[in-house]
Amino acid sequence: MGSAPERFPMRWPARWRDPSLLKLLADTPINLLLTPADPGLDAVRREARRMGLTCGELVTAQPSRPDQIRIRPRSELEWKAPGAVVAASECVWPSIASESAGSAGPTGVPWVDSNGWFAQLARTLMPESEIWLVFDPPGGTVLRPESYALAVADSEAFGARWVVSLDEQAQAETRLAARIIQVVGDALRFFGRHRAWSGYVTCAVLGVLSDYSGEDRHMAEEILNLLARRHLPFRVLRKTDGKSQFEGLKAIIHPDARPAAREIEQRLLDFVRQGGLLIAGPGWRVREGHRGPEDVHRRFDVFLLGKGRLAIAREPFSDPYLVALDAHLLLGRRHDLIRLWNGGSLNVHYTAERDGKRAVVQLVNYSTRRPAHQVTLGLTTRYRRAWYWELGANKPRALEVRPASQGVELPLPEFAVYAAVELEA
Partner 1 sequence: MTSRMTRREMLGALVGSAVSPRRTAPTAPVSVVRCRSYDSELRPALERLFDQLGGLGRLVKGRTVAIKLNLTGSPTYRLGHRPLGMAQWVHENVVGVVVHLLGRAGARRIRLLESPWSTAEPLEEYMLAANWDPQALANAAPVVEFENTNYLGRRKAYVRFPVPGGGSIYPAYDLNPAYQECDVFVSLAKLKEHATTGVTLSMKNCFGITPCTIYGDGAPEDEPGPFPRGGRTMFHHGHRRPPKSCPQEIDPSSPREGGYRVPRIVADLVAARPIDLAIIDAVESMAGGEGPWIRRSRPISPGLLIAGTNPVCTDAVATALMGFDPMADRGTPPFETCDNTMRLGEDLGIGARDLSRIEVRGTPIQEAVCRFRA
Residues near partner 1, by CB under 8 A: 103, 105-107, 109, 294, 296-297, 329, 332-334, 336, 339-344, 373-374, 376, 378, 404-406, 409, 411
DSSP codes, 211-272: ---GGGHHHHHHHHHHHHHTT--EEEE-TTS-GGGGTT-SEEEE--SSPPPHHHHHHHHHHH
> Of the two residues 75 and 406, which places its CB atom closer to partner 1 in the complex?
406
Give whole-number Cα distances, 256 to 91, 92, 328, in Å: 23, 24, 18
> Of the two residues 40 and 102, which places its CB atom closer to partner 1 in the complex?
102
Upper half-sphere CA count for residue 287 (Cβ side, 13 Å): 6
**Residue 401 CB, nearest approach to partner 1 (Å):** 13
What's the rounded Cα separation, in Å, for the pair 208 and 396?
Answer: 34
DSSP helix/strand/coil, 119: helix
Q: Residue 331: which of 323, 321, 342 has the closest Cα?
A: 323
What's the rounded Cα separation, in Å, for the pair 239 and 209?
Answer: 7
**Residue 120 CB, nearest approach to partner 1 (Å):** 22
**Residue 359 CB, nearest approach to partner 1 (Å):** 19
What's the rounded Cα separation, in Å, for the pair 180 and 162?
Answer: 14
| Terminal C-alpha separation, the chain | 34
**Residue 387 CB, nearest approach to partner 1 (Å):** 18
- Are residues 393 and 193 in contact, defined by beta-carbon separation less than 8 angstroms? no
> Of the two residues 220 and 337, which places its CB atom closer to partner 1 in the complex?
337
- Are residues 350 and 203 in contact, defined by beta-carbon separation less than 8 angstroms? yes
**Residue 293 CB, nearest approach to partner 1 (Å):** 10
CA 271 to chain centre: 26
State how beta strands 85-89 and 68-73 pair.
parallel
**Residue 96 CB, nearest approach to partner 1 (Å):** 16
> Of the two residues 216 and 336, which places its CB atom closer to partner 1 in the complex?
336
> Of the two residues 36 and 332, which places its CB atom closer to partner 1 in the complex?
332
> Of the two residues 197 and 383, which places its CB atom closer to partner 1 in the complex?
383
What's the rounded Cα separation, in Å, for the pair 137 and 126?
Answer: 26
- At position 120, the amino acid (one-letter code) is Q
> Of the two residues 193 and 397, which places its CB atom closer to partner 1 in the complex?
397
> Of the two residues 68 and 376, which places its CB atom closer to partner 1 in the complex?
376
**Residue 397 CB, nearest approach to partner 1 (Å):** 16
Q: Residue 358: which of 232, 185, 199, 174 has the closest Cα?
A: 199
DSSP helix/strand/coil, 96: strand
Residues 6+ apart with CB under 8 A from 197: 351, 360, 362, 420
> Of the two residues 106 and 139, which places its CB atom closer to partner 1 in the complex?
106
> Of the two residues 75 and 342, which places its CB atom closer to partner 1 in the complex?
342
**Residue 204 CB, nearest approach to partner 1 (Å):** 18
**Residue 331 CB, nearest approach to partner 1 (Å):** 10
> Of the two residues 233 and 378, which places its CB atom closer to partner 1 in the complex?
378
**Residue 228 CB, nearest approach to partner 1 (Å):** 15
> Apex CA 40: angle with CA 35 and CA 42, to 5°?
65
State how beta strands 234-237 and 206-209 pair.
parallel
Q: Residue 158: which of 100, 117, 124 has the closest Cα?
A: 117
**Residue 338 CB, nearest approach to partner 1 (Å):** 11
What's the rounded Cα separation, in Å, for the pair 53 and 47?
Answer: 9
